């Protein structure tokens, strides 16, 4: 991966005029969305997650269980689902473009076999770097939610499926191409990795070693996305990265997760 030239999908949908986009000229470049779209999408986050909180509280008030993990996971992922429904509607209504192709969800991609092993390789590399940095072992908020077997299983499944899917679509599918076009590849990787790292900060008590490790992992996800031209590729790397740490947690009983 010594060539940092971004590979955006050649099959990215060509812009076609639609009634909703007739009020202004649409750029033929990829990505076809702009910073106003990004601001609109960001502004949708609060109402979407407030709706998710309200619905989750109402649903779980009717259920006999008080387990924290299902409640919090339902709240978080339903919020992301509502948020991405807004993005889907925006891409369709404003530009008349398909959701998955627009966010470069393509397969197969160059080096597909290599990306299958890159997640575990990255996880082991992060562990070694964490040891060199004398990263403190902390009881992360995720571990505190693993109160029983079913909570652990639920978190493990979501951490290796929906979590990397939503995060990669958001950061590497939507945000990264916009940053590359505006600031160039290297700065885009840094700017994309910063909010990704901050999003996970509370989970690791804002220890600088964990934040640095997260930043490095995010940079690798960005590189995979740019070199393959596929958000599916970076999602696979992200998912197998998380799976490696979750497997280590189950085997060790205490788990070191950056």
Last residue of a domain, one of 102, 133, 152: 102
Query: Looking at residue 256, what is its pLDDT?
Result: 42
Query: Looking at residue 60, what is its pLDDT?
Result: 87
| Whether 258 and 184 share a structural domain | yes
Per-residue pLDDT of the chain (258 residues), as tens digits, is 445 666 665 444 433 333 333 333 334 478 999 999 999 999 999 999 999 999 999 988 888 776 788 888 999 999 999 999 999 999 999 999 999 999 999 988 988 889 999 999 999 999 999 999 999 988 777 877 787 888 888 999 999 999 999 999 999 999 999 999 999 999 999 999 999 999 999 989 999 999 999 999 999 999 999 999 999 999 999 999 999 999 998 888 654 444
In the chain, how many domains are there?
A: 2
User: Is residue 133 domain-resident?
Assistant: yes
User: Is residue 131 domain-resident?
Assistant: yes
| Whether 85 and 176 share a structural domain | no
| Whether 235 and 189 share a structural domain | yes
User: Is residue 124 domain-resident?
Assistant: yes
Query: Looking at residue 2, what is its pLDDT?
Result: 47
* CB atoms inside a 10 Å sphere around CB 246: 20
| Whether 122 and 208 share a structural domain | yes
What residues make up the domain containing 88? 31-102
């Amino acid at each position: 991966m010594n060539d940092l030239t971004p590979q955006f999908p050649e099959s990215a949908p060509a812009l076609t005029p639609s009634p909703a986009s007739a009020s202004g000229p649409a750029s033929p470049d990829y990505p076809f969305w702009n910073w106003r779209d990004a601001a609109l999408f960001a502004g949708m986050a609060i109402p979407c997650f407030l709706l998710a909180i309200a619905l989750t509280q109402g649903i779980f008030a009717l259920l006999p269980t008080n387990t924290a993990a299902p409640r919090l996971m339902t709240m978080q992922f339903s919020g992301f689902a509502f948020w991405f429904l807004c993005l889907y509607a925006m891409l369709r209504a404003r530009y008349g473009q398909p959701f998955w192709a627009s966010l470069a969800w393509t397969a197969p991609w160059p080096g597909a076999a290599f990306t299958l092993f890159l997640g575990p390789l990255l996880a082991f590399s992060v562990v070694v770097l964490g040891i060199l940095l004398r990263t403190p072992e902390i009881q992360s908020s995720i571990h505190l939610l693993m109160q029983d077997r079913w909570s652990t299983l639920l978190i493990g499944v979501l951490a290796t499926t929906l979590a990397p899917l939503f995060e990669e679509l958001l950061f590497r599918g939507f945000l990264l191409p916009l940053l590359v076009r505006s600031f160039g590849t290297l700065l885009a990787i840094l700017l994309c990795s910063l909010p990704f790292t901050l999003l996970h900060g509370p989970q690791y008590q804002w220890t600088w070693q964990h934040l640095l490790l997260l930043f490095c992992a995010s940079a690798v996800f960005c590189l995979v996305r740019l070199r393959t031209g596929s958000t599916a590729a970076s999602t696979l790397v992200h998912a197998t990265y998380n799976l490696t740490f979750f497997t280590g947690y189950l085997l060790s009983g205490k788990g070191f997760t950056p």
